[in-house]
């Protein structure tokens, strides 16, 4: 179809500049929201440490917001809590600047290949070498006082990690916990509904009652919030498991409304239930 002539041709498109909001979490530690996923930033004399980097289109605005924090400086270390674009959008910019990019080894492997999600056809292009994590680990590690570790339950992907800042008692967990609405169950890269429960239980063991737990989406959570989530996802997991054992499929699972009592607070669960059911199949089938 031929476009109708209009009086004003747009010579360029206006890129939407995101509004990055910063919230203090403790000494030299901040939560930056608005870049596409929550980002935790520690400033100080040793250089800046970041957990996740928002979407690529927001990397410039995020870098400006980081530079404007008190005691800021060059970013020396970036953690990728997993491979999704909301977490890895600053990789290229910071990788080119010589930053150490830490990730669990599986995250690096995902970023080295093209990925297409089968449920919606969304495509993700593999990263250039410079943008890939350049320091990977399997189980856990330390960076000064910072402790990080693998969330091996496959809560969201098979490469989830947490980063714990003991001095401020802050635990960044990426999408292994969700602060707002239902999480994406990315079974294509290893996540599953049983792993959501297992990952939350692991977070319970790392956190204490005063820990501020920062998810990739939504506000800061407490240990009590995580405990409530363990109960909720545990209930849903049990129901789906029972249905699957009776030979039901994803559509029957959705129709049975196994998350009905949680929807008033959490929103419609249909998409989440369908993905969760598919994740059971993916996880339990022998060649998965």
Binding site for Zn ion (CB under 5 A): 84, 175
Query: If 0-12 CB within 10 Å is exposed, 13-18 middle and 19+ buried, where does residue 22 land?
Result: middle
Taking the complex as a whole, the smallest distance from the CB of residue 177 to Zn ion amounts, in Å, to 11
Taking the complex as a whole, the smallest distance from the CB of residue 162 to Zn ion amounts, in Å, to 14
Taking the complex as a whole, the smallest distance from the CB of residue 175 to Zn ion amounts, in Å, to 4
Token duo for residue 218: 């939504």
Could you give the CA distance from residue 183 to residue 110 in angstroms, rounded to a whole number? 20
* Residue closer to Zn ion (CB basis): 34 or 73: 34
* Residue closer to Zn ion (CB basis): 42 or 156: 156
Taking the complex as a whole, the smallest distance from the CB of residue 153 to Zn ion amounts, in Å, to 15
Could you give the CA distance from residue 226 to residue 4 in angstroms, rounded to a whole number? 54
Taking the complex as a whole, the smallest distance from the CB of residue 16 to Zn ion amounts, in Å, to 21
* Residue closer to Zn ion (CB basis): 56 or 69: 56
* Residue closer to Zn ion (CB basis): 36 or 250: 36
* Residue closer to Zn ion (CB basis): 111 or 243: 111
Taking the complex as a whole, the smallest distance from the CB of residue 84 to Zn ion amounts, in Å, to 4
Query: If 0-12 CB within 10 Å is exposed, 13-18 middle and 19+ buried, where does residue 226 land?
Result: buried
Going from the C-alpha of 76 to that of each of 46, 49, 95, 147, 174, the distances in angstroms are 8, 6, 10, 16, 20
Give me the torsion for CA of 162, 125, 131, 157, rounded to 10°: 10
* Residue closer to Zn ion (CB basis): 81 or 211: 81
* Residue closer to Zn ion (CB basis): 91 or 168: 91
Query: If 0-12 CB within 10 Å is exposed, 13-18 middle and 19+ buried, where does residue 123 land?
Result: exposed
Taking the complex as a whole, the smallest distance from the CB of residue 82 to Zn ion amounts, in Å, to 6
The number of beta carbons lying within 10 Å of the beta carbon of residue 251 is: 11
Token duo for residue 170: 């802050």
Could you give the CA distance from residue 66 to residue 28 in angstroms, rounded to a whole number? 12
Token duo for residue 115: 């990925």
């Amino acid at each position: 179809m031929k476009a109708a002539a209009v009086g004003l041709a747009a010579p360029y498109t206006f890129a939407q500049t995101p509004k990055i909001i910063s919230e203090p979490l403790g000494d030299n530690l901040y939560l930056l929201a608005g870049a596409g996923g929550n980002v935790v930033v520690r400033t100080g004399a040793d250089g800046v440490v970041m957990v996740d980097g928002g979407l690529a289109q927001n990397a410039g605005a995020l870098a400006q917001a980081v530079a404007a924090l008190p005691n800021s400086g060059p970013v020396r270390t970036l953690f990728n809590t997993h491979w999704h674009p909301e977490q890895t959008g600053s990789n290229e910019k910071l990788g080119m600047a010589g930053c150490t990019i830490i990730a669990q080894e599986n995250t690096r492997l995902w970023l080295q290949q093209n990925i297409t999600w089968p449920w919606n056809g969304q495509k993700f292009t593999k990263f250039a070498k410079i943008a890939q994590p350049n320091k990977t680990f399997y189980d856990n590690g330390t960076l000064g006082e910072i402790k990080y570790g693998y969330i091996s339950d496959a809560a969201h992907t098979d490469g989830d990690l947490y980063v714990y800042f003991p001095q401020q008692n802050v635990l960044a967990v990426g999408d292994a916990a969700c602060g707002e609405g239902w999480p994406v169950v990315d079974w294509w890269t290893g996540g599953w509904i049983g792993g959501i429960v297992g990952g939350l239980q692991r977070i319970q063991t790392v956190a204490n009652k005063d820990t501020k737990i920062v998810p990739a989406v939504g506000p800061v959570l407490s240990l009590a919030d995580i405990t409530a989530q363990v109960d909720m996802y545990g209930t849903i997991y049990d129901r789906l498991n029972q249905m699957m054992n009776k030979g039901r499929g994803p559509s029957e699972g959705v129709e049975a409304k196994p998350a009905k009592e949680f929807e008033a607070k959490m929103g419609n669960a249909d998409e989440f239930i369908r993905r969760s059911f598919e994740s059971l199949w993916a996880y339990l089938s022998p060649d998965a």
